Amino acid sequence: MMTMRVLLLLMLSFLGACASNVPLEIRTDVAPSPAVATVVREFEQYRGQRVRWGGEIVSLENREAETWIEVAARELMDDGAPGDSDQDHGRFLIRYPGFLDPTIYKAGRKVTVVGRLESRVTREIGKHPYTYPLLHSESLYLWPRYRARNYYPYGYGYYPYGYGYYPYSYGYYPYYHFGYGYDPYWY
C-alpha cells in the first residue's frame, strides 16, 4: 500500500512538471478572430467582440491609470505565440488597466492578448495617419525571449581523427585552419 502511494505521488509530480505557465485563454483560440485589417475596415460589425491577437511591441505609453501598447500584428501559432513572419498584418492598440514597466515590455518583445474591441483610434506613424483598432485587455501574456545558442552537436573530436584533424592537420581541409578545429558553424 505504501509503495502504491509513493508511485502515485511520483506520477503526479511528473504530470505537474508538464504544466504550462501560459494562461489557458491565451493558448486556446477564443473564436475565429478576424484579421486586424478587416476590423479596421468594418469596425462597427466587430465592436465589443472578444478577440485573441498577438505580435511584437512597437511602443508603450504609460498613462495615469492605464498603459497603452502599440503592437505590430503577427499571425498566431497553435499555442498562441506570435510567429516570426515579416508580412504586414497591421497594427493595433492594447489598453491595459494598470502600470507595465517599459524596461520589461520593450519594443520587439512578443505579446498575445485576449480582449474586447472598444473603438478605433487614429494616430500618426511618422507623417502618415494610421487607424488602429483599440482593444481592452482581459488577459495579456509577454512571451519569454529565446536566445540563440551556439550549438555544435559533435563537439570536439568528431570524425575518427579527433580535435578537428580530418584527415589532414594544419588547414588543408577547407574548414580547419592551423589544425585547431576551426569551423564556421561554431559561431
Instruction: Work out the average pLDDT over 63-82.
Output: 92
What are the boundaries of each domain within the chain? Answer: 20-142
pLDDT at 177: 47
Instruction: Work out the average pLDDT over 14-40.
Output: 75
pLDDT at 147: 63
pLDDT at 149: 57
For residue 168, pLDDT over 90 is answered with: no
Instruction: Work out the average pLDDT over 160-179.
Output: 48
d(CA 40, CA 56): 19
**20-142: CATH homologous superfamily?**
Nucleic acid-binding proteins (2.40.50.140)
pLDDT at 18: 55
117 C-beta neighbours (distance < 10 Å), count: 20
Give the predicted TM-score (pTM) of the model.
Answer: 0.69
pLDDT at 178: 46
Q: Which of 31-35, 137-141, 163-167 has the highest mean pLDDT?
A: 137-141
pLDDT at 28: 78
Q: Which of 4-8, 92-96, 180-184 shows the lowest per-residue confidence on average (mean pLDDT)?
A: 180-184
For residue 111, the SS3 value is strand
Residue 159 is given by DSSP the state S
pLDDT at 15: 55
Given a contact cutoff of 8 angstroms between Cβ atoms, the answer to whether 139 and 126 are in contact is no
Angle CA(50)–CA(53)–CA(56) in degrees, nearest 5? Answer: 150
